[in-house]
Amino acid sequence: MTGAIVIQGGYDVAGDIHVSGSKNAGLALMAATVLACGNSTLQGVPPVSDIHNMARNLQYLGASIKRLDGNLHIDTTRLISLHVPDRLAGRLRASILLLGPLVARYGYAKLSLPGGCTIGDRPIEEHVRGLEALGARVKLTNDYLEAHATQLHGTSLHLQTPSVTGTMNLIMAACLAHGTTHIHNAAREPDIVDLILCLIKMGAQIQGAGSDHLIIFGHGRPLSPYQYKVMEDRIEAGTFLILGAISGNSLTVHGCQTEYHTALITKLRAVGAIIDVSGNSVTVCKTKKPSPTDIQTGPYPGFPTDLQPQMMVLLSLAQGISEITEAVYENRFSQAVGLRAMGANIEICGQIATISGIPSLSGADVSGSDLRATASLVVAAIAARGTSFIRGVEYIDRGYHDMERKLQNVGVKITRVHGLDSTKKIEI
């Protein structure tokens, strides 16, 4: 038995939505506590299940963790284990972020291969190659990853692909290495910039934040504990901006660091959405006749792959034919199954989805298979005529804090039900 989100769709949304702290940045900042000896305080980290799972990983290693007044207090003074077992790592792909800090501070780490959303191959070769270049000996099997290092040393790295978690891991490891490390072709995502700003506050010396060439001046010793406020979640913000472009009758999203949303806002304006930017708040009004447009995902500052599923909903309602090229992951059109059940006209050939817009979607009983695909089905259900049942709510809980309340506050008729038979379809 499982649960579902039930949405009565076909109504406009209006009002104010406040974006929570970044899940992805929060996960990296939690891993960074291993680089320090003492009690760090992370402000604004959302209490979503991915954050809870990272906390369990750290607690297993021996960290003390408390949540008080919305802040996360993490004490890594005494770690008693350097091994993250399968029952913990298997729940969270971001467990891999503990690899670099553990090897850098303690000279050893063993992690069962991490889990998470099934949205295609997410290789960890960049982590392995980078740590080996820094001086670690890494053993990779089908079940686990093990690394040893007497001392890490600065080096020059060129990433074959700009891996986000790979870049994060190598930055953190290089902070405790002896000497200077250059990372070329580094990922440039805002979450990485947030991590770098926090590491600098911890005493690290890093140049090039926001660029693809990072320079880390390692001093071979632990950093200092931190007190730091995590940035807002740009993917949550983007999800709500797309919702506003579909169903918004003046929907204002607060907590948008607009300089990080250029690619999305450009595409929303291209389909005809009316957008007003005021500081870190963005107001979106839908257009009655969205225009088609083409999208290709890519590393930042390109169009985010994490917003591609939500954008597919908008393009399903455009007046004409649109094309989405998914250039980051090879298996990220799973939302198309649910959208087709709602009436969308979508054809997929390899990495390209061709969407022929229709006037409206219809409510249906659908299931999400990963975090962003499930979020896109929520957006679609709000726009659809009639009632929708969306299964896979555990994915929503991984990355969207208090989503139902936020949507209710802007007029969405949404409830969560429990105890449904996941194998039995509901007649709509």
Asked whether residue 160 is domain-assigned, the answer is: yes
CATH number at residue 70: 3.65.10.10
Same domain (yes/no): 246, 299: yes
In sequence order, the 6+-apart residues with CB closer than 8 A to the CB of 233 are 19, 20, 21, 22, 23, 24, 25, 46, 399
Q: Does 426 fall in a domain?
A: no
Number of domains in the chain: 2
> What CA–CA distance (Å, rounded) separates 398 from 181?
34
Answer whether residue 428 is part of any domain. no
Q: Indicate whether 421 pLDDT > 80.
A: no
Tens digit of pLDDT for each residue in 244-260? 999 989 999 999 999 99
pTM exceeds cut of 0.75: yes
User: Average pLDDT of the chain?
Assistant: 95
Q: Which of 37, 117, 175, 198 is catalytic?
A: 117
Average pLDDT over residues 235-249: 97
One domain for residues 193 and 284: no
**Given this model, what pLDDT does residue 1 score?**
46
Q: Are residues 14 and 69 in the same domain?
A: no
Q: Print the domain residue range for 313.
A: 2-20+232-420
Last residue of a domain, one of 178, 196, 229: 229
User: In the structure, what pLDDT confidence band is assigned to residue 426 with cuts at 50, 70 and 90?
Assistant: low
Any domain includes 355: yes
Any domain includes 126: yes
C-alpha to C-alpha distances, 291 to 171, 282, 352, 383, nearest whole angstrom: 42, 21, 19, 17
Do both 318 and 290 map to the same domain? yes
Regarding whether 61 and 48 lie in a shared domain, the answer is yes
pLDDT at 424: 58
Distance CA 17, CA 307 (A): 18
Within a domain: residue 427? Answer: no
Instruction: Note whether 261 and 307 are same-domain residues.
Output: yes
pLDDT greater than 70 at residue 423: no
Question: Where among 229, 262, 294 does a domain terminate?
Answer: 229
16 and 142 together in one domain: no
Q: Do residues 173 and 267 both lie within one domain?
A: no
Does residue 324 lie within any of the structural domains? yes
pLDDT in tens, 335-356: 999 999 999 999 999 999 999 9
| Domain finish residue from 229, 264, 284 | 229
Average pLDDT, stretch 149-174? 97
Q: Are residues 163 and 302 in the same domain?
A: no
Q: Indicate if 198 belongs to the active site.
A: no
pLDDT at 121: 52
Whether 196 is covered by a domain: the verdict is: yes
pLDDT, mean of residues 199-218? 99
Q: Are residues 316 and 381 in the same domain?
A: yes
Say yes or no: 140 and 34 in one domain.
Answer: yes
pLDDT at 331: 86
Mean pLDDT of 20-39: 98
What is the per-residue pLDDT for 113? 81
Instruction: Find out whether 317 and 360 touch, Cβ atoms under 8 Å.
Output: yes
Please tell me whether residues 124 and 271 are part of one structural domain.
no
